[in-house]
C-alpha cells in the first residue's frame, strides 16, 4: 500500500439483539464473545498493520474509558477518541470523523468499520483493501460486498452491475444499488441470481470525497456536525462534541443519508468469512458445532439436542439442555434467555417490554464497569448490600461521601490506600477498614497488581445516587450524583 489508511472504528452503539450478554451498559462490541478478545479488540488488531495509521474512535461517553482500556490490553493506541453527546446513528459519526481527519490530514483515506463484526481471516481482509485504493483515490466511495452463502434476511444486500469474476477476485466495479433486508423469497432470488452481495457496512474513501458527498446529499448533517466539532471540548485526551448542535441532528444511517443517493459508488467483492453477529442465530452459525449441530459455550451439557446453542456465562453455572431442537439458551447470573432460533430477532422486542416495566436487567449488567475498574453486586438485603470491587493498578475512586450508608472494606487481593476524612492508611490483604456514614473517603490502588476487595454496605438505601463527589481523577463531575 502506498497510501496510509486511517481506520475509523464506530463503537458507540448499544444493540439489544444479543441480550442478555449485550446490554446498553456494556454492548456486544466490548464482550468477549468469539475467541480470547472482544469484537472491538479484534477489529482494532485487524487494522493494526503496516500501511495503517492508529485508529480513530467514535463512541459514547459511557464507553470512553472502556475503549481505551481494551485498546491498551492489546497494546494499540488511538489517534483520537470522539465522544458523541448522544447516539445519532452512523451518518453523524462518520461525518465527525471525516471532518476531524480532514483537519489533520486533508484528503486522507479513511476506512470506516463497525467494531462489532467478525472477520476471522484478518490477513485476507487486509489483502483485499489494495484493490480498492485506486478507486478511492479517484473520488469513488468504495464499499466491500461479502460473497453470500445463504439466503440471509437479516442483512442488507448490494446489487452489482455485472457478475463477479469466476474466481471471485477483488475486482472493483460500479455499484448498481442497495437492497433493503429482504423477505425470505426475495433473499432466495438474490442468492440464486448471483448478482448480489451482502452489505458489510465497511467503506473506504478520502475525506475530500465523503465531505463533498455530505455537502450534496446531507448538508444539514454536515453543517450541524461541523458546528459540534468546532465547539468540541477536550477532556482527558478525549474530544467531546458540542451537545447543542448535535442534539439537532437527525438520527440517520450513513447508507440512508449518503450512500443510497451517491452516484460515485464502487463495490469490491470480498470472498472471506464475515458476520455482523446480529443475533444469537448468527452466533450459533459462527461457532463450531458438533455432529448434531449443537454449540456449547461455557459450562453447558446437551442431551439429545439438535441445532441448538447452549451458552452459560458463569463458572459456577451449569446449563443443561435436554431434547432441544433449534433452541437458543443463554444463562447469566441475573437473566436467562430461551428462544427458538427462528425467533432470535425478536429478542429486541422482549428487551423493549422489560425496559417499559423498569426491569434493570433490560439495560444493565450485574458487573458495572468504571474508569478505575469494576464492581458487581453479590448479595442485596433490606439493610445491607455486598459487592466485589476490583481497582486497576494506579487507579483511584473519587473522593466521596454517602448520607444513607456506611461501608466496610475487606481487602482480599493486593493492597489499598484508604483515605477517611484526613487520615490516610495502607490496608493489606486480610485486613479491613470501616467508613462511617458521612465520612469523606477514597480508595486507591498504589500497587502494580489489581486490587480486589469485598465491600459490605449497611444502611437504608444503596443506590448510586447516594454519592457526593468532591474530587475525581476522571472528570466525571462533582457534587451529588443524579
| CATH classification of the domain holding 148 | 3.90.550.10
| CATH number for the domain that contains residue 441 | 2.60.120.10
Q: Are 253 and 337 within one domain?
A: no
Q: Is residue 275 domain-resident? A: no
Q: Are 351 and 462 within one domain?
A: no
Q: Are 215 and 323 within one domain?
A: no
| Residues 165-194: tens digit of each pLDDT | 999 999 999 999 999 999 999 999 999 999
Contact 109, 139 (CB under 8 A): no
What interhelical angle do 90-104 and 207-217 show, nearest 10? 130
| Residues 371-423: tens digit of each pLDDT | 899 999 999 999 999 999 999 999 999 999 999 999 999 999 999 999 999 99
Name the average pLDDT for the chain. 94
Q: Are 173 and 37 within one domain?
A: yes
Q: Is residue 101 domain-resident? A: yes
Give the per-residue pLDDT at 478: 65
Q: Are 433 and 465 within one domain?
A: yes
Q: Is residue 362 domain-resident? A: no
As beta bridge partners, residue 276 has none
Q: Are 63 and 161 within one domain?
A: yes
Q: Which of 324, 355, 386 is the last residue of a domain?
A: 355
Q: Which of 220, 242, 270 is the last residue of a domain?
A: 270
Q: Are 335 and 429 within one domain?
A: no
Give the per-residue pLDDT at 1: 41
Q: What are the start-end ranges of the E strands in 252-372?
A: 265-270, 295-297, 300-303, 309-312, 319-322, 327-332, 335-340, 367-370
* Total count of domains within the chain: 3
Region of residue 472 (phi > 0: left; psi between -120 and 50: alpha; otherwise: beta): beta
Instruction: With a cut of 70, list the residues of the chain below it in pLDDT.
Output: 1-2, 477-482
Q: Is residue 360 domain-resident? A: no
Q: Are 425 and 297 within one domain?
A: no
Q: Are 53 and 75 within one domain?
A: yes
Give the per-residue pLDDT at 481: 52
Give the per-residue pLDDT at 476: 75
Q: What are the start-end ranges of the E strands in 76-154?
A: 80-84, 109-114, 141-146
Q: Are 103 and 218 within one domain?
A: yes
Give the per-residue pLDDT at 482: 44
- Cα–Cα dist 99/110, whole Å: 11
Q: Are 190 and 123 within one domain?
A: yes
Q: What is the pTM of this model?
A: 0.90
Q: Is residue 276 domain-resident? A: no
Q: Are 169 and 105 within one domain?
A: yes
Q: Is residue 425 domain-resident? A: yes
Q: Which of 355, 381, 414 is the last residue of a domain?
A: 355
Q: Is residue 408 domain-resident? A: yes
Q: Which domain holds residue 226?
A: 5-270
Q: Which three cell numbers stand for residue 212?
A: 463533498
- Cα–Cα dist 325/304, whole Å: 9
| Residues 233-286: tens digit of each pLDDT | 998 889 999 999 999 999 999 999 999 999 999 999 999 999 999 899 999 999
Amino acid at each position: 500500500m502506498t497510501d496510509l489508511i486511517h481506520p475509523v472504528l464506530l463503537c458507540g452503539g448499544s444493540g439489544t439483539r444479543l441480550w442478555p450478554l449485550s446490554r446498553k451498559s456494556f454492548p456486544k462490541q466490548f464482550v468477549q464473545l468469539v475467541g480470547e478478545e472482544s469484537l472491538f479488540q479484534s477489529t482494532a488488531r485487524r487494522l493494526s498493520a503496516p500501511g495503517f495509521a492508529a485508529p480513530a474512535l467514535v463512541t459514547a461517553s459511557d464507553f470512553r474509558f472502556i475503549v481505551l482500556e481494551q485498546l491498551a490490553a492489546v497494546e494499540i493506541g488511538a489517534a483520537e477518541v470522539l465522544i458523541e453527546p448522544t447516539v445519532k446513528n452512523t451518518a453523524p459519526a462518520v461525518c465527525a470523523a471525516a471532518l476531524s481527519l480532514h483537519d489533520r490530514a486533508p484528503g486522507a483515506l479513511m476506512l470506516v468499520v463497525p467494531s462489532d463484526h467478525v472477520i476471522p481471516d484478518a490477513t485476507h481482509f487486509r489483502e483485499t483493501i489494495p484493490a480498492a485504493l485506486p478507486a478511492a483515490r479517484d473520488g469513488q466511495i468504495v464499499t466491500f460486498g461479502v460473497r453470500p452463502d445463504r439466503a440471509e434476511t437479516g442483512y442488507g444486500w448490494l446489487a452489482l452491475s455485472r457478475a463477479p469474476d469466476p474466481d471471485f477476485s477483488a475486482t472493483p466495479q460500479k455499484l448498481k444499488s442497495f437492497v433493503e433486508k429482504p423477505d425470505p423469497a426475495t433473499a432466495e432470488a438474490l442468492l440464486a441470481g448471483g448478482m448480489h452481495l451482502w452489505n458489510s457496512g465497511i467503506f473506504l474513501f478520502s475525506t475530500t470525497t465523503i465531505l463533498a458527498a455530505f455537502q450534496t446529499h446531507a448538508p444539514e448533517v454536515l453543517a450541524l456536525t461541523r458546528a459540534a466539532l468546532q465547539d468540541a471540548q477536550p477532556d482527558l485526551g478525549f474530544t467531546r462534541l458540542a451537545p447543542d448542535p448535535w442534539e439537532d441532528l437527525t438520527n440517520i444511517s450513513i447508507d440512508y443519508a449518503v450512500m443510497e443517493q451517491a452516484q460515485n459508488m464502487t463495490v469490491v467483492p470480498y470472498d472471506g468469512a464475515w458476520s455482523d453477529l446480529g443475533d444469537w442465530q448468527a452466533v450459533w452459525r459462527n461457532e463450531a458445532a458438533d455432529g448434531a449441530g449443537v454449540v456449547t459455550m461455557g459450562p453447558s451439557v446437551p442431551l439429545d439436542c439438535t441445532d441448538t446453542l447452549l451458552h452459560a456465562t458463569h463458572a459456577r453455572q451449569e446449563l443443561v439442555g435436554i431434547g432441544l431442537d433449534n433452541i437458543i439458551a443463554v444463562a447469566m447470573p441475573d437473566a436467562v434467555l430461551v428462544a427458538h432460533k427462528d425467533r432470535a430477532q425478536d429478542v429486541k422486542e422482549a428487551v423493549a417490554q422489560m425496559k417499559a416495566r423498569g426491569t434493570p436487567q433490560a439495560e444493565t449488567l450485574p458487573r458495572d464497569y468504571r474508569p478505575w475498574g469494576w464492581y458487581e453486586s453479590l448479595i442485596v438485603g433490606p439493610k445491607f448490600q455486598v459487592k466485589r470491587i476490583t481497582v486497576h493498578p494506579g487507579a483511584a475512586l473519587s473522593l466521596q461521601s454517602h448520607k444513607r450508608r456506611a461501608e466496610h472494606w475487606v481487602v482480599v487481593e493486593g493492597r489499598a490506600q484508604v483515605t477517611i476524612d484526613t487520615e490516610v492508611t495502607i490496608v493489606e490483604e486480610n485486613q479491613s477498614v470501616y467508613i462511617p456514614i458521612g465520612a469523606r473517603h477514597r480508595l486507591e490502588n498504589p500497587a502494580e497488581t489489581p486490587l480486589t476487595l469485598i465491600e459490605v454496605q449497611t444502611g437504608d438505601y444503596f443506590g448510586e445516587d447516594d454519592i457526593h463527589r468532591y474530587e475525581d481523577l476522571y472528570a466525571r463531575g462533582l457534587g451529588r450524583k443524579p
